[in-house]
Structures are given as structure tokens and as C-alpha cells.
Structure 1
Amino acid sequence: MNHILPDYYVSEATWFYLSLLLTLAVFFRFDRIFSLRNLDLILLLLISPGLLFLGDYPVVGNFWLFVGTGLFVIRMSIDCLFQRRPRGEQNLNSFGMAFLCVSIFAFFVVRVFTENPAPDTIQTVKQADSLLSMQDAGNVSKAQPAEAGPTARLLAAPVVPFSNAVVTGTLDHATLAARIMAILAHAFVVVGLIIMGKVHFADTQVGLAMALLYLLLPCTAYDVSKANHVLPAALLVWAFVTYQKPILSGIFMGLACGAMFFPVFLLPLWASFYWKNGLKRFVLSGTLVAVVLLGSLILTSVDRFSFTQQTIGSINWSVLKFEGGQHMPGFWSTYDSAYRIPVFVIFVLLITCLTIWPRRKNLGHLMSHTTAIIIATLLWYPQQGSVYLLWYLPMLLMVVFRPRLLHTTQNYEVDRNQQSGEKPSSRFQDSVSIAKHTSQ
């Protein structure tokens, strides 16, 4: 970038102020100050200063993020109580939002190629290289345990040969592959949000709005090179895109569980969503993905000890312990780890409540409850914890921008009844007719 714009540099504070102004100009509803959209927008903007405080004032920054994370959990847990969701137009048309999306994404590409990749992404690329060459990766995992699971190395495998072919000079092929991984992960999120808006929200402008706000928010720019944190969110977005096809949705959910640990807590919720209609296909496809991931680990293991080292040995079990949190950066570093126990108990109760209530769930319930569970995970997670905003940001934006999803609920109900040979219930038909009347 210095060859095009000499001395070009955008600090994190500068990006925050630019993002603040652009976000308010495009998304803030000045005609309806007291609206749910504005409330969500303010919460998203207020959590960003916590990331800035982490550098000079880590205690303040971690506390700020912890409180903001707790507010988001409450907001997502009660989202379905807001029945009236009027259509909210953006202050910029679709062409303007598309132009901003392309422009900001171009700046992200430049930033990815001008800064050093995240160490855990480099580690994932090296494990993917071992997978392609069928070499033992147990020593690599033992030397520096990777943050991501086997899904990351499996999806990174196609990138490694390309980086080996185009690398020139002193550039390391692992560095190039890590940068390409980061760009592709963000691209999958952006494309998934646009398709989600077009297909399931019946509004392409909403999809562009979600993609633009994802790119505008400071947390995306700050962690733009952390591909391993973006990857599970991208897979979850595509699980929502394909939610009407339990086989495809199960594949994306299985890959997400293999990318990082937190999607495992979503399985009871998604199982209750499909239940008698599609649960077998969802579980079967997820199990098939698990078999493939285990097979990829077997290919890079020379013996039983190496396989154990790559599976059980690569997991950071200190995350699940309730002692030693003081030795890890994050909110719990300044507090006794015993206080995490009641937080974890509340987290389990939250999963139970959101799984069993309501009994008949639609896409709106699935999105808000999924987001609430992911955000709640960060409250007891000791390692950085609330800093990982990219884990849930795409799903949070889908909840913020979603309209009333009665048309998608009706289509999914019809698809399920056609597959099972049943007719829609009279209660469902009555609810659809009443909803259409009230929306008019």
C-alpha cells in the first residue's frame, strides 16, 4: 500500500471514528429514534471501545466487553418477544451499499497482505501441509497446539498447493496461504449474509445491509487476519442459508463443530428445531462429517500416540477447568476462577431453556437462540472471552435485520409436510392468515 499511498496508515482509533460516522449515516433511523433497530445499532457501537481499551487499560477493556456481552445475551434471549418488526429502510440505496462493500473489502485485502498473519492461522496452514503430504503432524501439534480443530486444516488444504505455486522471493508460502484463508473466510461470510437476505428475508437490500455493517464494524477490521475465528462463523451462516435442507445444514454444522469447540453447544437446539422432520438427515450428515475429519487426522498420524496427540492432546483442557483463570488474559484474569462456576451453571440452564422453549420453533427462534448461546459461551470462557466478537457477529446481524419470517416459516412447513405426506395443521394455517392480516 505504501507504493500507492505513501505513509498510508489507519490506526484502530481512527477506524473506530470513521466506522461510527459511516454506520450512523447509513443505518441509523433518524425518523424513528426510539426503535429496536437503533437500540441494536447503539449496542453494537458501544461494545467497540472496549477493544480499544484492551491495549492501554486491559482491566477496563475486559470489563467493558463483559458487560456488553451480557447485554447481548439478554437481547438475543428475548428477541422473539418483539412481534412487531416493521421494515426499516437503509439511508443508502442498494447500489451505494454494494459499492461500499466492495471498497471496504478491498481495504481489508490490502490490510491482510500488509500485516503479519495470526500465529494460529500459520499453525493451521502447516498442519494442512502435513495432511497433503501425509506426514506425522503430532510433533507440530505438541510444539504449538492449534486453536482451531481439524476442519480448519481440511479446508486450508486446497489453499496450500496454490500458495506453493505462486510464492516468489523470500515470501513464505505458509504466510501467503494464511492470508488467502483470511480473505476467503470473510468472503464466505459476506456472500452468505447477502444470500440469506435475498433468499430467506426476501430482500436483497437487507442482505447487502448485513454484509456492509459486518465490514464496517471495528471488530472485523481489528481481527481481519484471524481466519480461525471467522471460519466457524462463516460455516454457521451457511448452515442458516441451507436450513431448509437438513443434509446440507448438518454438513455445515458438523464442519463448524470441527473448526472450534463452541458450536457443539448448539447441537441440542438445532436437534429440537428439526426434531421429527429432518432430524435423522441432520444427524446422519453431521456424523459423516465427523468421520471424514477423523480420517484426516488418521492420515497425519504414524501411530496411536500421534493420533491421540492430535485429538485429545491438542485440546486446551485448561479452558474447561475452573482454576488457573488468573494465568490467562481476559476478564477472569483479575477474579477468582471459582466465580466462573455459577456463570457456567447459568449457561447450561440457558441452553436447556432455549432448547425446550418454544416447542415449535421457526427460523427466528433458531437464529436468536443460536446467537444467545454463542455469546453466552464467552461469559465463562477464560481465554480472552468477550474479545472474540467475530464468533457471533454475523448471526447477531441476521437477528438485528431480520423481518417477520412468517413466509419462510410457511415454506418450510410446506416442505416438511410434503416430505412426510401430511397436511399443514389448521392451527398453522390460522396463524399464517392472522399474521398476513396484521402485517397489512
Structure 2
Amino acid sequence: MKVVKFGGSSVASATQFEKVAKIVLADPERKAVIVSAPGKRFKEDIKTTDLLITLANSVNENGYDQDALTAVLNRYKEVIEELSLDRQLLTEIEGNIKESISLYRRDYERLLDALKASGENNNAKVMTAYFNALGHKAAYISPKEAGMLVTDEPGNAQILPEAYENIAKLRERDGLLVIPGFFGYSHQGHIVTFPRGGSDITGSIIAAGLDATEYENFTDVDSIYCVNPTLVDKPHELKELTYREMRELSYSGFSVFHDEALQPVFQKGIPVCVKNTNHPEAPGTRIVLERQINDQPVVGIASDNGFCSVNITKYLMNRELGFGRRLLEILEDEHISYEHTPSGIDNMSIIVRSHQLYNGKEERVLDRIRQELLVDDVYIERDLAMIMVVGEGMKHTVGIASKATQALAKSGANIKMINQGSSEVSMMFGVDGATVDQAVKCLYYAYFVD
């Protein structure tokens, strides 16, 4: 059994629906189909999820923006009419959206979750109707019916362990199962959406729950590239990489997967294959537990902006018991997670996402560090970018770091910090945000072209 997920661009129009159906029906092992909300049909188009957010923002005590609702409905209307499906579907979709507005009018967070989820939910119903119209048995399975139980934090759902037992029962169902991505239901009965990349998370959860032989993720690229293809011409395509490598690359800015999306299949050891809806015959990229290491020790280079560094200096810091624990407790009290902690004997840096230092948190954290830890100096360095050089083969290869520092010097990027974990799957370099793109280009040519 395979679980197959289609991203927003793959289900953006009637033409794309036809491609999806051909792909699914071409392989009898493809049983569970996860769909996103309709994405962009062309470069300047607006995603359905964004239209739904606009609709949610228009809701008030007196009603909502009818034009915003019409814009959403027109996306489904176009598909339904071009595929010659029953127009009653559109009436049901409109009723579903209006019901959510009525139910959550006075609770914006719940309203936003319900309306965003409706993008995937209603698209799954349209996809089910299309499979049935083609003469194939298909059933729409709501996340509630599937038993997708999640935590009750709007916009940040986490799957609960008991959900997997519920999902496993779907193996007993006949025909195709069409399941909307992006959301689940809490024990309180609320619709709750996953964080970024939510449909990928759903696909991974369903694959793990069904104990699938493979999780296929269809998007709009032939494979995963070793570097952002907007930075270099014809970058090297990756045929295979490990979960660890993909995790590092996703964390550092690769947009193929959000870094949470692979956890369920990783824990089950289920291979993932990333393929192109518009070119399904291409082999794509496989993500596996272990792979054969070839003569290319580095598989990818990724970067991400929006970091800052809390830099702390205190003489004899290394002799002070509990210093690191007390420092991290200050961050924990402010609900701030850290990314990296490079350190020396008298200094320590905490790398955090800049967006976490809001609503007075920055001032409170700095004041507490000064008062409670009695440091000699503490300051924040802003506008940092992190570059990750990733590859399972790096641990067995001499000269990887040397090649990186030479490439960064050639790019003109000043290295602010270097960090490497004990697994040696990745090396992290901190640079000024303004120099990151040129730095990534020079690293690419050093590892993949020279």
C-alpha cells in the first residue's frame, strides 16, 4: 500500500485534477490520497488558503465580505464545471464555509483554523467526486472519521499517539481513500490545523498509521536539488538522501518539506519519494533511513535568514557550575527555543529565531541575564543567516571544512560562527544576511562543480 500526497500546485485546476487521477489509477498500490487546497494556477495567482485567510479577516459582527467568499467559491466552481461534476458540490462547499463562519464568528483563532482547513477539506470532496465520476470507487474520509486526534492549540496541532491506532483501521476499507491534509480534530471537537507544511504532515501521519510501503509526495519539481535552484543554473539533482540529511536541509530553508513533516515516517522507516505531478515518469528523489555513500560527501547546501545571536561573556564561565542551565531556563521562561549554542571558555552564544524576541521579550531576557548571571557583557547581533552544508559522507572525508572556509572567504562572507554536531551530518556557518546568497553560490561551486 502506498500513500500519495498532492501539493497545492498539483490540484490547482481541472487539468491538474486529470493528471492526479491518471497518476493514482496507474498504480493499484496507491490507496490513500492526501490533497492540499488548490494552489496557484499561474505565477500571479493567489492560493486558495490565502483567499480563505482574507475571508476570515473580513468576518465581523455584521457579516463578512461577500466578494471574498465569492473568490474562494470560484476556485471550486471552475474545477467542478470543467470536470462536469454535480453542481450540488458547490452548494455544499458554500454551506460548509458559512457554517464555520457562523460557528466561530466570535473566536478568530478558531475561525481562522476552520476556514483554512476548509480549503483542503472541500478539495478532497471534489477529488472524491471526480474519482467516482470516472467509475472508480472512492470515499471521502474526514480527519474526524480517520481518527486524526490532535492537540487543541490553534495553528499548531500535534498528532496524539492514539491517532495511529485509529488510522490503522482504514486499511480495512475498500477502494480509494481521499483524505484532506493540514488539519485534525481535538478531543474537544475543534478543527485544529498543523503548522507550516501541514498537508505534508498529514500525508506522513497517514502513511505511518497505515504502515504504508511508501509515501509518495507529488509536487511541481522533478526532484530535490542540492541547492536552491534560483541561485544557480541547473543544480545537481538528488536521487537519494537520508531522513537525517533531509531534516537538516528542511530546517535550513529547503521548501520541499517542512522539518516536522517527516517525523512519523522516519519513526516507522517508511521510504518517501518526491515526484513531479507534471512529469510523473521522472524517478524523483527517494528519502530513506540509510543509503550507500558514494564519492560525493556533501549532498546539499541550504540557508535561512531571520536569526539573531545573544552573545554573552563572563570571565571563568567554564568554571561556574550551572551557568548554561540557568541561562537556558531564562529562555524557557519566555517560551523561546534556541537553535545553536556555540561557546568558548569565557563566552557563549545562543542562536534564536528573531521573531521570538517580541512583545518585550528581548528586554526581559537581557535584563535577567545581566542581573541573574552577573555577566561581563551581553548583546544581540542581528540579521544573521545560517548556512548548512549537509551530507552523511562528510564524517569519512578529510578536508570538507577547509573547502567550506575557502569558498566562504572567496564569496566575501565573514564567518560569524561555526558549529558541527557529533553526528557530523552537517556543518553550520553563521554569516551576515546580506552575504548569504553569494556564500551559498560559492559553496555550491566548491563542492559540486570544482
- Report TM bin, short chain: under 0.3
Between Structure 1 and Structure 2, the one with more helix by share is 1
Larger Rg: 2
Considering Cα pairs closer than 8 Å and 6+ residues apart, tell me whether 1 or 2 has the greater RCO: 1
Q: Which has the higher strand share?
A: 2
